[in-house]
Structure 1
Amino acid sequence: MMGARAWLLLFLLNGSAAVLRPEHVSSCRVLERVANCTDLNLTSFPHWLPNGVHTVDLSGNFLQNLTDIVSFYPTIHQLNLHSNRIEFIQPGLFRSMSHLQVLDLSRNQLDLYAALKIAVGPLTFVQKLDLSGNGLYTDMSDTFLGDAPALTNLSLNGNSITKIGKDTFIGTPALRNIDLHNNVILEIEEGTFESLPHLAELDLSMNSISCITDFNLYQLNSLNLSKNSMTSFQSIISDQDFQLLYLDLRENKIQYFPILPTKNKLIYLDLSRNQLHSLNGTDADEELHNHKSPLKLCSLLYLDLSYNHLKSIPPDFFVSMVALESLNISNNCLESFMLDHRSLNTLKTLDLSFNNLQNLTFGNCTLEMLETLYLQGNWLNTLDPGIFQGLPSIRTLHLQQNQLSVCGLEKHVSGSCVYLSDICTLQYLYLSENDLLYLPAQAFKCSPLLILDLSLNPGVEINEHALSGLERFLTHLSLRGNQLQVLNFDLSLLHHLKVVDLSSNQLSSLLLASGDTAIESLNLQNNSMVTLETHTLKTLQNTLRNLYMGSNPLSCCRNMQLIDLVQQKSVHIPDIAMVTCKYRKDGEYVEINLRNVQSEHCETLRSKVLVISMITVLTLGLMVVLLVAIRLCHSRSHRFNHSYKA
């Protein structure tokens, strides 16, 4: 009786508040039985909707109370009350709504109603219920879940739940999907989910769960435990088949590889950003268990072990992973990585970047399907010269930030360099920041590279035939930051080259001799260019779309053709604000932005040149006249003297 009086009093108070509040109501938009009443400042359920409406969206209003008015629309299938101020629901309100399947009550103030301990009443036909962002804490969800026999999808994320009791889901036996992420869950009572035979997806991410022991949800397909405080995950020892496919354990504090169901169907396992320092069990008993029942992950396609503290990988760790396609062990502490004969032959992507790798060994007939290999950020220096030639499907090699050298045509028996030629599948190669000193002739011969990054190898000497063999394939070339003073090979010979980055060098000219090129983007920033030759511009004019020229000591009056292209917008210069040139005025050099150069800036110089030329001509003319006059005078004097003597 006291409970009924309490909610009646609350209803009357809220009703009074609604009367006093000014209301600005606009018409809902109704189209094909869908009523859109969002953000209309409504304080009560609209009573003017058509009788046959199926979907009503009242999100973003100011509703506080849900009363009998809702039952006037028995045909509603979907009711969205997201982001209102609802703090009271008339008990039994949804009983007569026999078609209601989707009910969204997220981001309201239902904690005020739940505190009254009054059940909402049956949600007999509701299949999807969203109660997220309502400030609900432990046991409050029982107010809404006591009688919902058809409910399959439940969202309780963004509340303040600290504990899930074993009776929480007694009234929702049909649940298939439960979202509990972003709560404060510390405890889950034993048997809580065992009453849900159809449960397939469970999201417990962003909580405060410390461990999972005796995991026994055989029917579960997906389990998300990321961003908790877990130190371990252990499944029960059972010969029964588990249906788990996706297990997300990232961003926890797990120190040892989890003990997984012996009979599992896992295809996705994420253990990234933990504290793994071993891929064994957590103690002697578990290691013994692992020894008796070795790890079997025969269906696993994706494994992420990145951002941990692993120093080594057991030699037989990958033996059972006969279907693995993606393996990420980046950002660990590995010093060596070795694969035995015929290991990981289904793998397509392998990420070993940002470890401490100094040794890398791939046995015979390993990694036969590997397409992408990430090795950047290691200490690789001495490798088997033919290690990459032994990867029959490799398409992309990330070798940046190592200390590798590239072999030429001569045969090497030591590991002082690696061959990057004759790899008939290789299309993308990244060799930046390797302290390369020399790039030999035909370094990539018979490797059909599309993208080649040789940037940030300051002082590298590039043989004029280093890119020979790439004429029919290469589209992107980066030589950024190599301190190049001269480009001793003709870029126009690379017939399909579209993007060229030559920035941050010391180039004063560009070699494009053939007069035919496909270059669309050219970066010459931060070089020593005084003049971009007319021949170069003529070669580029039909294909060039983007030209970067900032931070060059350009001459205004020697680049009039470039200035014309800029001012006519024939070529787009994305860094035009940084592109300046200098012209001489009153004996001093003046700097000006390239787009602001006018013809008169060079007329003074031209006039001076003309005056100097005229003076020079006149001077030369006078000198010639004077010489002729002297010669004539001398001739006459000679004739006079000759006559006198006679």
Structure 2
Amino acid sequence: MWPSPLLLVLLLPWSPAPGMEDAAFPHLGESSQPTPRACPPRCSCPQPDTVDCGGLDLQVFPDNITRAAQYLSLQNNQLQELPYNELSRLDSLRTLNLYNNLISSEGLPDEAFESLTQLQHIYVAHNKLSVAPQFLPRSLRVVDLAANQVTEIFPLTFGEKPELRSVYLHNNQLSNAGLPPDAFHGSEAVVTLSLSGNQLSYVPPSLPPSLERLHLQDNLISKVPRGALSRQTHLRELYLQHNQLTDSGLDATTFRSLSSSAPRWNLQLVSQHHSLTPSPKICLALTLVAQPDARPLSPASKLHCLEYLDLSYNQLAMVPTGLPRTLAVLHLGRNRIQRVEVARLHGARGLRYLLLQHNQLGTTGLPAGALRPLQGLHTLHLYSNGLDRVPPMLPRRLQALVLPHNHVATLGAHDLAATPGLAELNLAYNRLASARVHHWAFCPLRALRSLNLAGNQLTRLPGSLPSGLHTLQLQRNQLRALEPEPLAGLDQLRELSLAHNRLRVGDIGPGTWHELQALQVLDLSHNELSFVPPDLPEALEELHLQGNRIILIGPEAFLSTPCLRALFLRANRLHMTSIAPEAFLGLLHLRVVDTEGNPEHVLVQLPPTAPRHPRAGGP
């Protein structure tokens, strides 16, 4: 059973190298106790069953290790071999950590493991193994051989291990020939297998049927053979990005077995969106929470469905067919997809996150209604395609539409009416001009909280902005004037970016800031301001004025902003005495004043009670 909530972070696979699982070294880091007498020189033995010799630059296996040791750490040393006699006598070992040494296959004697009948965790990542050990104990639960030079696996390396749960083999040199068909025979409990960063040319057959997470990214895979995944009915996450898959390498049966009955899940997006510059990045964390009407699972229950599929960075020209109806996240970015056909998404009705960035979707790439079957779609990523308009008839429940770096030049009055629940809309770096943005274009979006229009060709603020906006980004446009009317009613706006425009103080109409009662961050950097604009919002905490033409800051410049914490004035035209001594009086929260990059060293006079952290100048 999955716990609720369960946090899944969609990142590259991580090897639980040294010290990494709490169960592996339960005593390390606890309060120090008297070192037992039978402890190797320079090592630490915080408990009678724990020996920590990590990070000592050891070149020889330490002697005097107690036979009662259950947890032995030798990570981050320079060991080249393990002596058979020393290792084989440690028959109580449960965890052996050899991470980051120089151990070769010749220096890791297979016969030494025969007596280690209680060993559960072995970490040999970041060594010099060329082949995997031919024999490992039946008792193992976790095996980490990542980041070696392994070219061959043997039947009893991972076979006949009824307790084995996790195997990490990423960043080796494995080809399909080096992975025998019976590599996991008798190991029916493996849930995590990482084979990423190898030289596999097709998905290996005879993988453990118990798998829940399979990492195959960064290989040379051009084909998923028919039936290769037919036994993986428990698979929840499948990573195939950065391969050589084409449409002919997949067929309608490839994912057919990866879907069966499962509880309904609600995926809530916790996102960190970096500034969408020409190379936007996205980091997603998905919180899966069972919906209220989902029947609780018993502790012994298992989910039988594929929920995450990553096919990005391949050579697909079409969306694959036969997608499981349980799929929640589908990543197809960085392919060659030119058109999305409605029939190919018909089976994936449960999809919540669809990522299609950096494809070749043009004017007809998303025909009207192509995504309508995805009634539960939460987030749609389409940046860096060739779309010239917002796709029509999008799913009504869509909450995030990410469409920067396209060719969108027009927003009509009804273009966004199909998605009234949008909370995030990103149209940055398109071709929008004020004359082609209808005054009512954003009016239907009553739930909108974040609007990004950066990098377009706007000369004035758009009209009828939703009153619930929290973030409005208009940097890198051609704004020449600010009037109070477009900002009226935005009493929840917290962050406003107007950087890299053509604003002058005289072009900012009286009362422009009046209704922005919640504004905390205002970015006016890289404009044509000659002094600090008056009557700024009272709640303002962070003010960016760098890269303007400011020559003088008078004593009343910040009277309206008593909550100011950070002020950025670098790269203006300030001189030694440009700032009036009284300018910062009353700014008791001011922490940072940045005046670097001006013609002269600027004298900064902070209030006596404020902490003194000016970046340039001081009293």
Give the TM-score taking structure 2 as reference length.
0.75
1:155 is matched with: 168
Q: Summarize deviations over 1:288-326 as a string: whole Å, max 9, x none.
A: xx74x7623232222211111111212222212222222
Give the number of equivalent residue pairs: 513
2:329 to 247, 268, 287: 268
Identical-residue share of aligned pairs (%): 24
Residue 356 (structure 1) shift: 0.8
Cα RMSD, aligned residues only: 3.1
1:259 and 2:324 matched = no
1:490 is matched with: 535
Q: Summarize deviations over 1:180-207 as a string: whole Å, max 9, x none.
A: 1111112345x432xx221221111111
Q: Give runs of aligned pairs for residues 445-524 of structure 1, distance below 5 A.
A: 445-448=488-491, 449-459=493-503, 461-470=507-516, 472-485=517-530, 489-491=534-536, 494-510=537-553, 512=556, 515=559, 517-524=562-569
Mapped to 2, the partners of 1:306 and 1:235 lie a distance apart of 24
1:317 is matched with: 370
Q: Give the number of the structure with larger relative contact order, counting CA–CA contacts within 8 Å between residues 6 or more apart.
A: 2
Mapped to 1, the partners of 2:222 and 2:137 lie a distance apart of 34
2:137 is matched with: 123
Q: Summarize deviations over 1:339-374 as a string: whole Å, max 9, x none.
A: 32xx43433322101111113455576333322211
Distance verdict in 2 for CA 1:575–1:155, change over 3 Å: same
CA contact (8 A) 1:111 1:140 kept: no
Structure with the larger helix share: 1
2:358 is matched with: 307
1:402 and 2:456 matched = yes
- Between 1:513-522 and 1:368-377, the stretch displaced more is 513-522
Mapped to 2, the partners of 1:398 and 1:227 lie a distance apart of 30
Residue 438 (structure 1) shift: 2.2
Distance verdict in 2 for CA 1:575–1:241, change over 3 Å: same
2:477 is matched with: 434
1:241 is matched with: 259
4+ long deviations beyond 6 Å: 566-570
Residue 109 (structure 1) shift: 3.6
Residue 131 (structure 1) shift: 2.0
Residue 43 (structure 1) shift: 5.2
2:421 is matched with: 369
Distance verdict in 2 for CA 1:182–1:239, change over 3 Å: closer
Mapped to 1, the partners of 2:201 and 2:259 lie a distance apart of 29
CA contact (8 A) 1:35 1:53 kept: yes
Residue 249 (structure 1) shift: 1.3
Give the aligned residue type for 1:429: L
Mapped to 1, the partners of 2:240 and 2:257 lie a distance apart of 24
1:548 is matched with: 594
Mapped to 2, the partners of 1:239 and 1:179 lie a distance apart of 21
Mapped to 2, the partners of 1:101 and 1:397 lie a distance apart of 51
Distance verdict in 2 for CA 1:450–1:565, change over 3 Å: closer
Residue 169 (structure 1) shift: 2.6
1:76 is matched with: 93
Distance verdict in 2 for CA 1:405–1:221, change over 3 Å: same
Give the aligned residue type for 1:54: Q
CA contact (8 A) 2:381 2:403 kept: yes
Give the aligned residue type for 2:145: L
Residue 536 (structure 1) shift: 4.8
1:62 and 2:111 matched = no
1:219 to 234, 258, 263: 234
Mapped to 2, the partners of 1:427 and 1:514 lie a distance apart of 23
2:398 is matched with: 347
2:129 to 97, 100, 110: 110
Residue 231 (structure 1) shift: 1.8
Distance verdict in 2 for CA 1:486–1:29, change over 3 Å: closer
User: SS of the residue aligned with 1:333?
Assistant: coil
Mapped to 1, the partners of 2:360 and 2:174 lie a distance apart of 33
Residue 480 (structure 1) shift: 1.6
Mapped to 2, the partners of 1:475 and 1:541 lie a distance apart of 15
Residue 122 (structure 1) shift: 5.3
Residue 160 (structure 1) shift: 1.0
1:192 to 191, 202, 206: 206
1:296 is matched with: 347
Residue 500 (structure 1) shift: 1.4
CA contact (8 A) 2:549 2:572 kept: yes
Q: Summarize deviations over 1:199-253 as a string: whole Å, max 9, x none.
A: 2211111111113354534332111111112223434075883511111112222
Residue 66 (structure 1) shift: 4.4
Give the aligned residue type for 2:406: N
Mapped to 1, the partners of 2:127 and 2:166 lie a distance apart of 19
User: SS of the residue aligned with 2:114?
Assistant: coil
Q: Summarize deviations over 1:103-136 as a string: whole Å, max 9, x none.
A: 2233334326x6xxxx734521112112223322
Residue 378 (structure 1) shift: 0.3
Q: Summarize deviations over 1:323-345 as a string: whole Å, max 9, x none.
A: 222221111111111332xx434
Distance verdict in 2 for CA 1:536–1:100, change over 3 Å: same
Mapped to 2, the partners of 1:533 and 1:132 lie a distance apart of 59
Distance verdict in 2 for CA 1:570–1:245, change over 3 Å: closer
Residue 566 (structure 1) shift: 11
Give the aligned residue type for 2:425: L
1:207 is matched with: 219
2:439 to 385, 407, 413: 385
Residue 99 (structure 1) shift: 1.9
Mapped to 2, the partners of 1:529 and 1:81 lie a distance apart of 59
Give the aligned residue type for 1:396: S
Mapped to 1, the partners of 2:137 and 2:483 lie a distance apart of 75
What are the ranges of 5 or more consecutive residues in structure 1 without an aligned counterpart?
Answer: 1-24, 281-289, 408-416, 577-593, 596-646
What are the ranges of 5 or more consecutive residues in structure 2 without an aligned counterpart?
Answer: 1-39, 261-304
Give the aligned residue type for 1:337: V
Residue 540 (structure 1) shift: 5.1
1:96 and 2:77 matched = no
Give the TM-score taking structure 1 as reference length.
0.72
